[in-house]
């Protein structure tokens, strides 16, 4: 619960800072998808590779990236995960297995396969590579080719496909010939799991099974998680492709509300304890914002711009 609340609060603060003009570049929030992000990462080992998408803040927080460094990165500060040079869509944290978030839709899939190939060649028996992808990205050549390659070469990859109803403004049914993404598993020889992505415990359990299956079977998995993006697609979104009622419907069924109600109705927590968890999340995010705002801006001298650049 704490981690889901940290993600939600982090996103709310990033959005506020964006509208204050403190954030360079663009922004994709994952409000409503916290269970999918946190449940998917909760069972991963620190050394498992993870490849988030353009909407990757929640996955990075779930995998253990320091929110202070993330906030600094988003605000273009020298203390950020990428020294303030990557921004929201490119958060890297190799220590926690995040080789790179990726703003190019679908482009993380071949890289996730490459990491999985490394795992296999080094005979690392207890490590997987996790590629996050979306309903829109799932129709890109890069993702389809990667699923095929992973299935053919039996790579230790988990493709986590977050079906959040839309790719920008396009409804999944208007973009996919068959919106049942589980059908792809058989084609590409992937084991397959499917879950309600707004149920944190269900997501966590499915991911635990998927990870185990990859390690036991030595072949890839597809995990389809059904969720809903409550926030707009990007920094600005007039939401003309959906109604206010639809958004409200999903707000009421959002993962944080659902899990809070469950914990209270089952007598495990009282409302005040839930509020205390939220206060703890807010305090941690507040510290991240203070840290970022007090940090110096990214170094944009010529020497710095050409450092850390790898070309072969
Ligand atoms: C190769 C490429 N094409 C287009 C874009 C612009 N773009 C950014 S996000 C997005 C939609 C992705 O949809 P989906 O995979 O469902 O992920 P979601 O945004 O719903 O999380 C598009 C088309 C891009 N970043 N990269
Ligand atoms: Mg989508």
Query: Could you report the per-residue pLDDT of 70-112, keeping only the tens digit for each?
Result: 999 999 999 999 999 999 999 999 999 999 999 999 999 999 9
Architecture of domain 2-290: 3-Layer(aba) Sandwich (3.40)
- Report the nearest atom of ligand 1 relative to the CA of 28: 19
Q: Is the pTM of this model over 0.85?
A: yes
Are 235 and 18 a contacting pair, CB within 8 Å? yes
Query: Tell me: the pLDDT tens digits for 243-284?
Result: 999 999 999 999 999 999 999 999 999 999 999 999 999 999
Q: Which residues surround ligand 2, an ion (CB under 5 A)?
A: 134-136, 164, 167
| pLDDT value, residue 248 | 97
Atom nearest to 103 CA in ligand 1: 25
Average pLDDT, the chain: 96
Asked whether 172 lines ligand 1 (CB < 6 A), one says no
Mutate to test the pocket of ligand 1, among 109, 167, 175, 232 (most ligand atoms within 8 A of CB): 167
> Is 288 touching ligand 1 by the criterion CB < 6 Å?
no
Which structure tokens are listed for 300?
């944009």
Secondary structure of 45-106 as H, E, C letters? CCCCEEECCCCCHHHHHHHCCCHHHHHHHHCCECCCCCCCCCCHHHCCEHHHCECCCCCCCC
pLDDT at 311 over 80: no
What DSSP element (H or E) covers 5? Answer: helix 2-19
Q: Indicate the DSSP class of residue 219.
A: S
- List, in sequence order, every residue forming a beta bridge with 51; answer none if it has no partner: 131
Task: Give the position, in ligand 1's atom list, of the atom nearest the Cα of 33.
Answer: 21
> Ligand 1: which residue has its CA nearest to atom 7?
105
pLDDT for 309 beyond 90? no
DSSP secondary structure string for all residues of 253-288: T-HHHHHHHHHHHTTS--HHHHHHHHHHHHHHHHHH
pLDDT higher than threshold 90 for residue 306: no
Listed by start position, the domains of the chain span: 2-290
- Best CA proximity match to 261, nearest among 9, 270, 229: 270
**Ligand 1 neighbourhood includes 234 CB (under 6 angstroms):** no
Cα of 165 to ligand 2 centre, how many Å? 6
Q: What is the model's pLDDT at position 303?
A: 76
Measured in angstroms, how far is the CA atom of residue 209 from the centroid of ligand 1?
28
263 CA distance to ligand 2 centroid (A)? 29
Distances (CA, A) of 154 to 47, 181, 216, 225: 20, 20, 12, 22
Strands ordered across the beta sheet of 129-134: 49-51, 129-134, 157-163, 221-226, 191-196
In sequence order, what are the residues at sequence separation of 6 or more whose Cβ sits closer than 8 angstroms to the Cβ of residue 231? 11, 15, 29, 30, 31, 32, 237
Coil, strand or helix: which one is 309? coil
pLDDT for the residue 284: 98
Segment 107-152, tens digit of pLDDT: 999 999 999 999 999 999 999 999 999 999 999 999 999 999 999 9
> Does the pLDDT at position 157 exceed 80?
yes
Ligand 1 centroid from CA 163, angstroms: 12
- Confidence (pLDDT) at 136: 98
CA distances from 250 to 125, 133, 240 (A): 40, 21, 17
């Amino acid at each position: 619960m704490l981690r889901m609340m940290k993600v939600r609060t982090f996103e709310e603060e990033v959005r506020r800072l964006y509208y204050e003009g403190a954030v360079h570049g663009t922004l994709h929030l994952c409000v409503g998808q916290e269970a999918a992000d946190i449940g998917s990462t909760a069972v991963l080992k620190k050394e498992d590779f993870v490849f988030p998408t353009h909407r990757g803040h929640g996955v990075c927080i779930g995998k253990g990236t320091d929110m202070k460094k993330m906030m600094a990165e988003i605000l273009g500060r020298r203390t950020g995960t990428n020294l303030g040079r990557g921004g929201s869509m490119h958060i890297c944290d190799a220590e926690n297995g995040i080789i790179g978030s990726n703003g190019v839709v679908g482009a993380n899939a071949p890289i996730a396969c490459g990491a999985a190939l490394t795992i296999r060649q080094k005979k690392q028996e207890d490590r997987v590579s996790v590629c996050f992808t979306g309903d829109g990205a799932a129709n890109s050549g890069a993702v389809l080719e990667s699923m095929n390659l992973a299935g053919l070469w039996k790579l230790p990859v988990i493709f986590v496909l977050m079906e959040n109803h839309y790719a920008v403004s396009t409804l999944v049914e208007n973009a996919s010939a068959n919106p049942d993404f589980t059908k792809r598993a058989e084609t590409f020889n992937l084991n397959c799991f499917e879950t309600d992505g707004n149920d944190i415990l269900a997501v966590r359990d499915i991911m635990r099974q998927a990870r185990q299956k990859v390690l036991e079977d030595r072949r890839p998995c597809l995990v389809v998680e059904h969720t809903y993006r409550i926030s707009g697609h990007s920094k600005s979104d007039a939401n003309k492709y959906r109604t206010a009622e639809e958004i409200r419907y999903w707000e009421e069924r959002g993962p944080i509300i659902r899990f809070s109600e469950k914990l209270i109705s089952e007598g495990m927590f009282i409302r005040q304890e839930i509020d205390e968890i939220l206060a703890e999340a807010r305090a941690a995010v507040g510290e991240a914002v203070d840290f970022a705002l007090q940090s110096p801006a990214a170094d944009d001298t010529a020497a710095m711009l050409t450092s850390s650049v790898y070309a072969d």
